[in-house]
Structure 1
Amino acid sequence: MSTDLDALIPSWLTLPDLAERLGVQFPRVRALVRDRAVVGVKRGERAAFQVPEAFLVPAEDGGEEVIATLRGTVVVLGDQGLSDEEILEWLFTPEPSLRVAPVEALRAGRRAEVRRVAQTLV
């Protein structure tokens, strides 16, 4: 990995924290990781698996939910051969063609633009 993820991603959540924020049981959060709806890395003193807090957006019910279009984008990036660390680096690094970091474009509903750029990575 060429970039320090902590410099790119200011706030992280452990899986128990993610479960609490989403209002779901822990096995559901494990399924989100397994199904690639979220991606994360082991970090910190205890090498706990963590995901970026920016993957959460307000839900219609007043709670929070994972960005709906994140999974498809993660799958596209994985198909391009990127590791989870590289996926996170790409999602949080400002992309000139998008004028923002891809994760911010996803949060703003710009799925098609983000995936178009992601498909051009080699």
Structure 2
Amino acid sequence: MLESLVGEWFTVPEAAERLGVALSRIRQMIADREVLASRVGERRVVAVPAKFFTEDGPRSELKGTFTVLADSGLTDDEIIDWLFTPDPTLPVPGAPIDSLRAGHKTEVRRRAQELAF
């Protein structure tokens, strides 16, 4: 299940509070695909994986990666699932999101492009 795979999620109000921005700014980040969101929990609230953020805002390497994965035909939930599914063959042990956070954007995007074939 996506919720348990990701682990920590921020609701829109939680993300706004942590970043010190208005709720509308977080909603705009979602609309602009700077971050992806999913409906989680019993109440199916809109939430964003915590690892999509730095202390200053959305991780810059995500937007292009989202585009590559979407171009491969993945939905937003499938993109989140792919980013958080462990892959022992990546440069950094763990999931693609961990490799992205460690600076291996090119390798993660190369793998994402392979999904289209």
User: TM-score with structure 2 length normalisation?
Assistant: 0.90
TM-superposed CA distance for 1:97, in Å, is 2.9
**Structure 1 residue runs without a partner (length 5+):** 58-62
Amino acid across the alignment from 1:102:
P
Show the counterpart of 1:60. none
TM-superposed CA distance for 1:121, in Å, is 0.5
* Backbone CA RMSD of aligned residues: 1.3
Show the counterpart of 2:44. 47
| Residue 70 in structure 1 maps to residue 67 in structure 2 | no
Residues 82-104 of structure 1 deviation map (CA, whole Å, 9 limit, x = unaligned): 01111011000012331421100
Residues 65-113 of structure 1 deviation map (CA, whole Å, 9 limit, x = unaligned): 2211011111111111101111011000012331421100111111111
In structure 2, distance between residues paired with 1:36 and 1:87: 12
| Residue 96 in structure 1 maps to residue 71 in structure 2 | no
| Residue 37 in structure 1 maps to residue 29 in structure 2 | no
Please say if residues 39 and 46 of structure 2, whose CA atoms lie closer than 8 Å, have aligned partners that are also in contact: yes
| Residue 81 in structure 1 maps to residue 55 in structure 2 | no
**Structure 2 residue runs without a partner (length 5+):** none
Number of positions where the alignment pairs a residue of Structure 1 with one of Structure 2: 114
TM-superposed CA distance for 1:7, in Å, is 2.6
1:19 aligns to what SS in structure 2? helix
In structure 1, distance between residues paired with 2:17 and 2:6: 20
